[in-house]
Amino acid sequence: MDTTPEALDQVLTQAALAAPTLAALSPASRAALLVSLARALDSDRDGLIEIAERETGLTRARLSGEVTRTATQLRLFADAAILGAHLDVRIDEFDPEFALGERPDLRRTHVPVGPVLNFAASNFPFAFSVLGGDSASILAAGCPLVVKAHSGHPALSDATAAVAQRVIAGLNLPAGTLQVIHGQRAGVTALKDARIHAGSFTGSTHGGRILADIAAARPAPIPFYGELGSVNPVFITREAIAERGALLAPQYLASVSGSAGQLCTKPGLVFAAVNDDFIRSLVAAASGSGSGSASAPSAEHRMLGPRIADAYRVGLHEVLAIDGVEPLVSGSIRIDEHGDGWVTPTIVRVTLDTFRAHRALLAEELFGPFSVVVDVPEDTDLAPLVGEFVTGTLTGTIHLSAGERSGQTELRPALEALIAELTAHAGRVVFDGWPTGVAVTPAQQHGGPWPATTNDASTSVGTGALSRFLRPVAFQNAPSAFLPPALQDENPLGIPQARSAAGQSLSWGRAVG
Amino acid sequence: MDTTPEALDQVLTQAALAAPTLAALSPASRAALLVSLARALDSDRDGLIEIAERETGLTRARLSGEVTRTATQLRLFADAAILGAHLDVRIDEFDPEFALGERPDLRRTHVPVGPVLNFAASNFPFAFSVLGGDSASILAAGCPLVVKAHSGHPALSDATAAVAQRVIAGLNLPAGTLQVIHGQRAGVTALKDARIHAGSFTGSTHGGRILADIAAARPAPIPFYGELGSVNPVFITREAIAERGALLAPQYLASVSGSAGQLCTKPGLVFAAVNDDFIRSLVAAASGSGSGSASAPSAEHRMLGPRIADAYRVGLHEVLAIDGVEPLVSGSIRIDEHGDGWVTPTIVRVTLDTFRAHRALLAEELFGPFSVVVDVPEDTDLAPLVGEFVTGTLTGTIHLSAGERSGQTELRPALEALIAELTAHAGRVVFDGWPTGVAVTPAQQHGGPWPATTNDASTSVGTGALSRFLRPVAFQNAPSAFLPPALQDENPLGIPQARSAAGQSLSWGRAVG
């Protein structure tokens, strides 16, 4: 049931009340909260998965993996909170010799921004929902968390919140530490409320843009971190196709069809001069007769919800009606009596000319198990295609031959140009793999230029995500008695502290002679 | 003369053309550019200062200090570019034991965002203008720079650009590396252009908000870093006033009147239970008879331009008309036949009740040599005043007595509450000093919650400023032959590389037992 205006006001008051307590919490206490949440999620996993299966249509195996991912993610952020690199602590020593006159003692750390509103995703009911990646980073940063539940899995959201609230009460933390709200209207009202200091979102470009505009138009604007749509183009060199086209095809199909293609990193476009090996192997994999397909892609998979299914049905119909679109894998969508969509993967081939003529439809993301192979002429220079067809994207992928990988190839300049173009358009550049499967690690980058995200200076996966909910503060000439632990000379937290020694400024610029 | 639409288009094309070249430049080459710019600025300083003096009314001494600051700043950023901490390099080793299944080799660095538009400030014709702090960070980040010159010093902007372009040509860098445009219309057109990837600004809250809204409303929104207005409240404890009220007063006057109060860190509000010592010493300093005043604040100072002078005249008039506003230092503003304003500092005293009743006028920034002393009752708890009266601010200042500084005081909880409140509202918390004079150093934080800035996760002064113009990119399973130097295992740049060892994930969360 949608959160009423009165209940929402209460939620926001609780969040605001919790802010100073959470900001003052030690890193160890924040980590203890995250690890306790991970344990509770693990121990309640069976009951939660049962609800999720019913609400989302995702398979039990997939959901079980997602719970593990979510719990691991909470533990990773617990460690990150303790390691303290995200505080980016800098200490400038008092410097009477400073180049511009006496420099005071200056110490900079990061503080939590305050209550954050997190719009949960439809396609990851655990990993990008109530206790997902955004939530883990918000809590690790020390901010009260309000989750706008996704309408696709309201019961799971409430059940997960109940697990979390039990943990929070057990640790004697404020009730405003983590709260869940329901309904679009409540979400928008909360986003406009002065008590909310940042927003995060995972979902469609359309929905994300509306919310980003609301955040920017507030009397006091707030940062809004939206992870939106992405086409995830893949480029396969002629040598790579020749070397292992038959191997690449089933991997491609698996990447397109996993989770019924409802992943933001699904490879939506492949640019390659495909050969017979590739085609034969793709068709074989789709029919279940290939050697490379682990699960049977020919089996129907339920989509997340009726709205997503309907959009996919319409989009697929439009694309297949284009002259020159040749199905390589002829998938289907069937809408059942509940409005649910049941799908098998579709992969089509077009020539570069057809693609160019119909780019408005073919170069856009179609959320679901669908992908386009742009069959380019053999001698095509791939690098310029990025600038011509690719907007901002979460990932860009390149498949190279073994010889090309070594760098000992006359094509090196062309490959370097292709890599540079993808680097300029994507947040993650993948080599000889597929973009689905986003590792939760310190070096992960899940974000990219618009329209992949509303803010490409940040990531929504990996420990870098923490910094979205922090704000730097410098303390000038502060008495040691009142310095936050992170900034004390004794370094009681044992975190990285970058020191600028006195006298240093006199040599600035010397490094270049 | 305003930049024509044709000329602007040419500028933006040049900037876009320069982007790949600058992105590919080695850190040493970027540093060489910055140091060469610093040297050229130093060697042309006399001619430039002459133009600046004529255009801005700032004193020769102040302008000379500003050139030194600007050149030093360029050298600091040269060092930062070489040190490479801003790249925040993270390397996850390939990990077959990873908690969530095989982890690929993942390496994350930062790349320049592309051409950046920098709106120069009126009040710092060097340090926040063509070769100022934003420009230094944009060039150090590896982005082409387009400066929208401030209308207050167009000739200086062109002269500085000519110095820079000579350096750029001498280093065989693209002409699009640094370009200057003139006129509001050209600035707005450029901000809307797809070739511009980020904006920066130093100026008024009103103007900054208009530009921030334009940046957010683009078809492809871009980050906009506006450093806007600030009230910079100062809190003096009862013990500090008793201990050294006579010393604090002339320091206060100097901080209010320096650069004719046209500084974003001017202390606009002082909360204290003032005593006779403080008042007497303030009045003496203003009349030039005090011991603490280095320059004579009673001398008239020309304001930056007619528009600023007129706004100050109107604002001052409104404030002085409020019942209960008692001038402690009775300053003046005189508009000459050119429309230029000539000012001496004004400091007024109000009771807490008067302040509360007229907060709409009294708690707002008035740009110029004006400040308000809120004379609170002796037993007032200062911490709650922050939440009641202070919005986001660049700085918050606290003056403590020697005993309070030691922390050995029964008032400690009250002081901790005051510090916590200021930390929640300000970007820099200053102890026993004054907020003017912003050191250019690694630990500096010049930014704060709205309306101090449009983006409080960043700083516009200090090496942290660099990160505004960078975007993270991760390389997954990249062949070593094609890895950027920053990410190579051999670490040819000698920069910090944070490594995540294989096997590590199995112990995540263990730190908290």
From B392, B443, B450, residue closest to A91, measured CB to CB: B443
Chain A residue at shortest CA distance from B417: A20
Task: State the catalytic residue, choosing from B243, B264, B365, B404.
Answer: B264
Q: What are phi and psi of A466, to 5 degrees?
A: -55, -40
Share of chain A above pLDDT 70, in %: 97
Q: Does the beta-carbon distance from B427 to A473 stay under 8 Å?
A: yes
pLDDT recorded at residue A100: 87
**What would the mean pLDDT of A288-303 be, rounded to a whole number?**
68
Q: Residue B372 in contact with residue B355, Cβ under 8 Å? A: yes
Residue A63 clears pLDDT 50, i.e. is over it: yes
From B113, B221, B482, residue closest to A454, measured CB to CB: B221
**What would the mean pLDDT of B8-20 be, rounded to a whole number?**
98
Separation CA B152–CA B158 (nearest Å): 12
pLDDT recorded at residue B290: 57
pLDDT recorded at residue A50: 98
From B35, B431, B471, residue closest to A509, measured CB to CB: B35
CA angle centred on B2, ends B1 and B6, rounded to 5° = 120
Q: pLDDT: is A104 or A513 the higher one? A: A104
Average model confidence (pLDDT) across chain A: 95
Q: Does the beta-carbon distance from B474 to A443 stay under 8 Å?
A: yes
Residue to substitute from A210, A445, A460, A463, interface B, most B β-carbons within 10 A: A445
pLDDT recorded at residue A294: 47
Residue A369 clears pLDDT 90, i.e. is over it: yes
| Chain B residues close to A453, C-beta within 8 Å | none
Q: Does the beta-carbon distance from B442 to A90 stay under 8 Å?
A: yes
Distance of CA A10 to the CA centre of its chain: 30
Residue to substitute from A476, A487, A506, A510, interface B, most B β-carbons within 10 A: A476
Residue B87 clears pLDDT 70, i.e. is over it: yes
Q: Does the beta-carbon distance from A443 to B90 stay under 8 Å?
A: yes
Residue A378 annotated as catalytic: no
CB-based contacts of B46, cutoff 8 Å, min separation 6: none
Residue A293 clears pLDDT 90, i.e. is over it: no
Residue to substitute from B100, B200, B404, B418, interface A, most A β-carbons within 10 A: B100
Residue B124 clears pLDDT 50, i.e. is over it: yes
For B327-353, how does the pLDDT look when each residue is reduced to its tens digit (9 = 90+)? 999 999 999 999 999 999 999 999 999
Q: How confident is the model at residue B292 (pLDDT cuts 50, 70, 90)?
A: very low
ipTM value: 0.96
Residue A364 annotated as catalytic: no
Q: Residue B220 in contact with residue B114, Cβ under 8 Å? A: no
Residue A312 clears pLDDT 50, i.e. is over it: yes
From B100, B222, B406, residue closest to A69, measured CB to CB: B100
**What would the mean pLDDT of A345-360 be, rounded to a whole number?**
97
Share of chain A above pLDDT 90, in %: 93
Separation CA B98–CA B502 (nearest Å): 7
* Structure-token pair, residue B314: 């109107």
**Nearest C-alpha of chain B: how many angstroms from A481?**
5
pLDDT recorded at residue A252: 98
| Chain B residues close to A24, C-beta within 8 Å | 420
Q: How confident is the model at residue B294 (pLDDT cuts 50, 70, 90)?
A: very low
Chain B residue at shortest CA distance from A463: B90
3-state secondary structure labels for all residues of A432-493 = CCCCCCCCCCCCCCCCCCCCCECCCCCCCCCHHHHHHHEEEEEEECCCHHHCCHHHCCCCCC
Task: State the catalytic residue, choosing from A55, A66, A143, A227.
Answer: A227
Q: How confident is the model at residue B511 (pLDDT cuts 50, 70, 90)?
A: low
Between chain A and chain B, the number of residue pairs with CB atoms below 8 A apart is 293
A132, burial (CB in 10 Å: exposed 0-12, middle 13-18, buried 19+): buried
| Chain B residues close to A216, C-beta within 8 Å | 212-213, 216-217, 221
pLDDT recorded at residue B505: 79
| Chain A residues close to B457, C-beta within 8 Å | 113, 223, 467-468, 470-472
Pairing of strands A106-112, A89-92: antiparallel
Q: Does the beta-carbon distance from B443 to A79 stay under 8 Å?
A: no
Average model confidence (pLDDT) across chain B: 95
**Nearest C-alpha of chain B: how many angstroms from A159?**
24
pLDDT recorded at residue B301: 92
pLDDT recorded at residue B26: 96
pLDDT recorded at residue A229: 87
Residue B177 clears pLDDT 90, i.e. is over it: yes
Q: Does the beta-carbon distance from B450 to A221 stay under 8 Å?
A: yes
Q: Does the beta-carbon distance from B90 to A419 stay under 8 Å?
A: no
**Nearest C-alpha of chain A: how many angstroms from B89?**
8
Residue B291 clears pLDDT 60, i.e. is over it: no
From B76, B220, B508, residue closest to A450, measured CB to CB: B220
pLDDT recorded at residue A506: 78
pLDDT recorded at residue A511: 66
Separation CA A500–CA A509 (nearest Å): 15
From B31, B100, B107, residue closest to A512, measured CB to CB: B31
| Chain A residues close to B113, C-beta within 8 Å | 456-457
**What would the mean pLDDT of A361-387 be, rounded to a whole number?**
96
Chain A residue at shortest CA distance from B194: A450
pTM of the complete model:
0.96
Residue B293 clears pLDDT 50, i.e. is over it: no
For B370-401, how does the pLDDT look when each residue is reduced to its tens digit (9 = 90+)? 999 999 999 999 999 999 999 999 999 999 99
Which of A229, A180, A221 minimizes the C-alpha distance to A199? A221
Element (H, E) at A352: helix A352-357
Residue A513 clears pLDDT 70, i.e. is over it: no
Residue to substitute from A37, A108, A213, interface B, most B β-carbons within 10 A: A108
Separation CA B166–CA B425 (nearest Å): 43
Q: Does the beta-carbon distance from A431 to B478 stay under 8 Å?
A: yes
For A401-459, how does the pLDDT look when each residue is reduced to its tens digit (9 = 90+)? 999 999 999 999 999 999 999 999 999 999 999 999 998 899 999 999 999 999 999 99
